[in-house]
Amino acid sequence: MSLIKKRIQDKIEIVGEFKTIQIRYADQIIEDDKILSQSYHRHSVECGDETSAIEHNVKGIADLYWTDDLKKAYKDSFKM
């Protein structure tokens, strides 16, 4: 009858023109294999942010979606 607190990465979404990667985390309190409490929070990884992609375990997804052309278009979108 012990309580366990764990964080899981439970949803990954690719959104927007520049393929922002959204990661949803679930913080769970578990007792006897039953979830007693659960809350969510999200983190977004913007196109080209390789460090954050590695930190959130989505580097493979980033490599798949973030082509050199997309990264250039994303950078150019800030120039006005």
Contact between 51 and 4 (Cβ < 8 Å):
no
Total number of domains constituting the chain: 1
- State the DSSP H helix or E strand holding residue 76, giving kind and residue range, or none if neither: helix 68-76
Q: Indicate if the pLDDT at residue 61 is higher than 90.
A: yes
Contact between 52 and 66 (Cβ < 8 Å):
no
Half-sphere exposure of 23 (CA within 13 A, CB side): 19
Q: What pLDDT is attached to residue 70?
A: 97
Write the pLDDT tens digit of every residue in 19-38. Answer: 999 999 999 999 999 999 99
- What domain range includes position 24? 3-76
Q: What pLDDT is attached to residue 80?
A: 66
Burial class (CB in 10 A: 0-12, 13-18, 19+), 41: exposed
